[in-house]
Amino acid sequence: MDARTGEAIYQQNANTRLHPASLTKMMTLYMTFSAIERGEVRLDSKFTISRKAANEPPSKLGLRAGQEIELRYLIRAAAVKSANDVATALGENLAGSEEEFTRQMTQMARALGMNNTQFRNAHGLTSKGHYSTAQDMSLLGRHLFYDFPQYYNLFSRRSADASIARVAATNRRFLDDYDGADGIKTGYTRAAGFNLTASAQRGNKRLIATVFGGTSTAQRNQTVAKLLDDNFPRIPDRVRETPPQAPQVRTVSRRAQVTASAAATRPEPHRMVLQASRAPTARPAGLAGAPEGDAPSRADRLALDSSPRPDSRADLGTSAPNATSATDIRAKGHPSALALGASSRPGVNPRAQSPILASANDRDG
């Protein structure tokens, strides 16, 4: 997908429904940024941690039930460390319950044109009926890039201060090893394999690549690097830019802002209503013979944008992104697999599976 126009550049099984794992948190953060922009919360708003959130399995920040913590720290921990306890806390505090929040997440997905995505939780641990596609996640990455440039730099952090701990980025290997990489999100569960939506810029050119189902962190990163290397020379240096249309959102019961005062009462959750949902986006046909829909397969997706972004940063108290290494990752896999841009892990149909209990192994890589 050319992020400037929405046109597909390369795809393989891009609409196959698979487990997104922690790529889910891209939408959790999109919803959080939207709430900030609507004035429903502030970066210094205090969020209260529930027992459910505190008990989420790793990867986690280590929040305690009853603890109050500023929103800015939760955002950092979700974007950089991919903390599951933080994702649940965000959903519960923004919408009153995680169930309501995931309903709103799916509603937002439809408004963004993500027609093959459904959310059942805010963190991405495997759950029946929780699925997405490589195309939809690239589309979401494009919206994060365009709709919230003031927050996008968070996805390039190698580490961040999350109040109770300094956290390291789950994507730091790719950020350090691929020339021009500046984000955005990793994901891993046993059911999903190793997922990555990655963005890199070289000159006026920008590519976003999404891979589902890698067999390891190294193999996934090599596959993404190969996709980027193969396609940077194929794209024009200049093109007419057409940013995606941001959805129009209003609230039925406005969520009162939470002050930094310890005496502040817990606000009423808001209900989100999308006033002008976008029409379904036309999807380019997949490669000949590539299974679509629910067929188990491997999925890859490319989207690109050549427009340089301003180095704007929200007041999250973080420094500028570190410079990336000039060392490229070079894929060493079988040439035919790389030509398809597909990982070597078979796809999984989430709707055909029963729920899988999360464990300490269900974390980002």
Nearest to 350 by CA among 56, 29, 10, 24: 24
What secondary structure letter does DSSP report for 132?
Answer: B
**What are the residue numbers of the active site?**
22, 25, 82
* Rounded distance between C-alpha atoms, residue 286 and residue 318, angstroms: 41
Q: Are 81 and 187 in contact (CB under 8 A)?
A: no
DSSP code per residue over 185-254: EEEEETTTEEEEEEEEEETTEEEEEEEEEESSHHHHHHHHHHHHHHHGGGS-S-----PPPPPPEEESSP
- Measure the CA–CA gap between 120 and 102, rounded to whole angstroms: 6
| Structure token pair of residue 349 | 């149909």
Q: Is the peptide bond before 184 cis (omega within 30 degrees of 0)?
A: yes
Residues in the annotated binding site: 185
Annotated binding site for substrate: 185
